[in-house]
Amino acid sequence: MKTISTAKSHGGVQGVYSHASEACACDMTFAVFVPPQAKDGPCPVVWYLSGLTCTHQNVMDKGEYRRLAAEFGLIVVCPDTSPRGESVPDEKDNWQFGCGAGFYLDATQAPFSTNYRMYSYITEELPALIAKEFPADMTRQAIFGHSMGGHGALTIALKDPERFKSCSAFAPITRPMVAGWSRPAFEKYLGTDEAAWRAYDAVALIEDGKRFPEFLVDQGSADGFLEDGLRPWLLDEACKAAGIPLKLNMREGYDHSYFFISTFMDDHLRWHAERLAK
C-alpha cells in the first residue's frame, strides 16, 4: 500500500492510498478517514460506494461525512468505482459503462472479466487490506452508497447479512436488470443469460430469498433519473412482500447531486452509528 496524501480533519486523519489489486489486475486508489478514537483502539468500519462516473474523490470532497464520523468514532472507507489504467478495456464515450461504471459485480465476459471484478475487490481484497493496515474493528461493519453505489451496497449486504450491521442508500438503482442505464452494462459484463444477472440486482435477490434486517433509503423527488434508472418503489414493493423493514424517504425537490447527498449524510451516519453500537 502506498500513501498518496494525508490531512488532519476533525481530530482524525483523511488519507488517500493506492495498491496493486489482484482482483482488478491494476492499481486501485481508495480513501480512508480514521477518527481520533482510533488512538485508543479499533473502530467500526463504514463503507461508502460511489456512483457512476465517480471516484473516491467525489464523496471525500463533497460528502461532508468527517464531522459525524469523528464524533461517532467511525472509520469511513471510500473505494473507487472501477478498475482504471491504459490496459483496462473501456468505452470512453459511454459514461454508463467501463471505467467509472463497474457496477460492483464480477464480470464474466471477455475482455472485461480480467479487470472488472469489483464485487470481489469490495467484499474480499480491500477488506483484507483495511484489516491489515488500519485500526479497524472488522466485526462491526456497515455499508452505504449512492446511485450505482447504492445498488452495490444493497446487493452486497443482501448476500452477506452476517458481515454488515446496517445498510443504507442514496437514490440507489434498485432494479438494474431492467433499468435503461444499467441493462446494457449487465449484458456486456455478464453475458445474455439474465439468470446470471440476478445475483447483482437487489429486487431479484429479495425475490430469490435473500434477506437483510432493515434498509434506509433517501430519494430526491426531482431526481432526473428517478423514472428510468432508480425506481425506489420497486424496492419498496419487494421489501413489503418479503417482510423487510424499509424506511424510504422521498425528499421533495432534491436531485441526484451531492447537494442532496450532503444534506442527508448526517441521517445516514447516525443510522449506521446506532446499529454499529449495538
Catalytic residue among 21, 50, 82, 147: 147
Residue 278 counted as domain residue: no
Residue 148 has pLDDT above 90, yes or no: yes
**Does any domain span residue 104?**
yes
Question: Can you tell me the distance from the alpha carbon of 164 to that of 176, in angstroms, rounded to the nearest whole number?
Answer: 22
Per-residue pLDDT for 55 more than 90? yes
Catalytic residue among 166, 182, 223, 268: 223
Does 147 participate in catalysis according to the annotation? yes
Per-residue model confidence as pLDDT tens digits over 227-270: 999 999 999 999 999 999 999 999 999 999 999 999 999 999 99
The string of pLDDT tens digits covering residues 190-203 is 999 999 999 999 99
Sheet containing 2-9, strands listed edge to edge, beginning at the edge strand earlier in sequence: 2-9, 12-21, 26-34, 75-79, 43-49, 136-146, 164-170, 215-220, 246-251
- pLDDT-derived band at 213, boundaries 50, 70, 90: very high
Is 219 among the domain residues?
A: yes
Known catalytic membership, residue 255:
no
pLDDT at 109: 97
Q: Does residue 25 lie within any of the structural domains?
A: yes
Write out the residue range of the structural domain in which residue 166 sits.
2-273
Whether the model pTM is above 0.95: yes
61 is catalytic: no
Give me the CATH number covering residue 116: 3.40.50.1820
The fraction of the chain above a pLDDT of 70, given in percent, is 100
C-alpha cell at 209: 430469498
In the chain, how many domains are there? Answer: 1
- Please pick, among 151, 256, 268, 272, the residue that the annotation labels catalytic: 256
Tell whether the model's pLDDT for residue 98 goes beyond 90. no
Task: Compute CA distances 124 → 23, 65, 193, 215, whole Å.
Answer: 9, 24, 26, 23
The band of 181, judged by pLDDT with boundaries at 50, 70 and 90, is confident
